Amino acid sequence: MDLNEELAHERARRIKVEEELGEWHRNLAKTLSPEQLAAAIEKQQLEALTFHLYMQRRITSELEAKYMEREKELALVVENVKSLEKRLGEKDREIEKLRNESEKLQKSAKAAEPPLKGQRFNASWIPSDEELDNILSAKQQVPTPEKAQAGGVTAQKAPKEPKSFKDFIQLVRRMERIKLYDAALLMDMPQDDIIVWARALERKGYLTVHGLREKTLIATDKMLKTR
């Protein structure tokens, strides 16, 4: 029997006892003395009070047990949060360490890079649409290795002469599809400079850049149809 059923049963019992007690009072009022009647009533009230105290203590014990269980669950959650925060801090320190090492390597690479011969176009220069049309209309050819293919370039020798933005456009239009790494080798330029030019052409719809790590430069119909 659950708690609700016990309460309902007790309520019904109390009503019945009260009814019986009232009837008993009426019957005994004629035979019992006032002292005896008062003792009988006190006994009934004491029994009822004792039962109510027992039920209240039982409810309190159940609530305390639920409270302790919630406290344990909360302690586990707090412990898990602290563990996750600790792991997150370790990952942040690892990332910061890798970032610092990467910056040092980049600085060392730039310091060790030999000075470029000749004069190049600045990779930050972005031509206008009219300038692009003029460049694409110009009949220039970029020397490429004999084994150059649309998807990549193999075994090549870096050009001796520095290449310009015009040479890069002609290279992409000639190859139609070329990897960023191969384009940088053919142009004898850093990939960072090549990707700046590629993004400029991509924004104007002349080529698309595919891939995340190994990027591929693909000439669009707009570039190929411009003669």
Percent of the chain scoring above 90 in pLDDT: 12
What is the residue type of 195? I
Distance from chain centroid for Cα 127: 38
3-state secondary structure 62-103: HHHHHHHHHHHHHHHHHHHHHHHHHHHHHHHHHHHHHHHHHH
pLDDT digits (tens, 9 = 90+) for 35-68: 766 776 777 788 878 888 888 888 998 898 989 9
Q: Are residues 86 and 39 in the same domain?
A: yes
pLDDT-above-70 percentage for the chain: 70
Which segment of 17-26, 84-93, 210-219 scores lowest on mean pLDDT?
17-26
Which pLDDT value is given to residue 32? 61
Together in a domain, 204 and 149: yes
Count structural domains, the chain: 2
Residue 192 belongs to a domain with what CATH number?
Answer: 1.10.10.10
Q: Report if residue 121 sits inside a domain.
A: no
* Domain enclosing residue 145, as ranges: 129-225
User: What is the C-alpha separation between 82 and 90, in angstroms, rounded?
Assistant: 12
When pLDDT is averaged across residues 9-23 and rounded to a whole number, the result is: 81
- Give the distance from CA 38 to its chain's centroid: 76
Q: What is the pLDDT of residues 89-104, one digit of tens each?
A: 888 888 988 888 877 7
Which pLDDT does position 31 carry in this prediction? 72
Say what the pLDDT of residue 216 is.
93
Q: Same structural domain for residues 171 and 93?
A: no
Place of tokens 């009232």: 22
Token digits for 88?
A: 């997150």
pLDDT score recorded for residue 23: 76
Q: pTM for this structure?
A: 0.36
Confidence (pLDDT) at 190: 92
Residue 187 CB contacts under 8 Å (≥ 6 apart), including other chains:
159, 163, 167, 168, 171, 194
119: in domain: no
Q: What is the pLDDT of residues 185-214, one digit of tens each?
A: 998 989 998 999 999 899 988 999 998 888
174 and 97 fall within a common domain? no
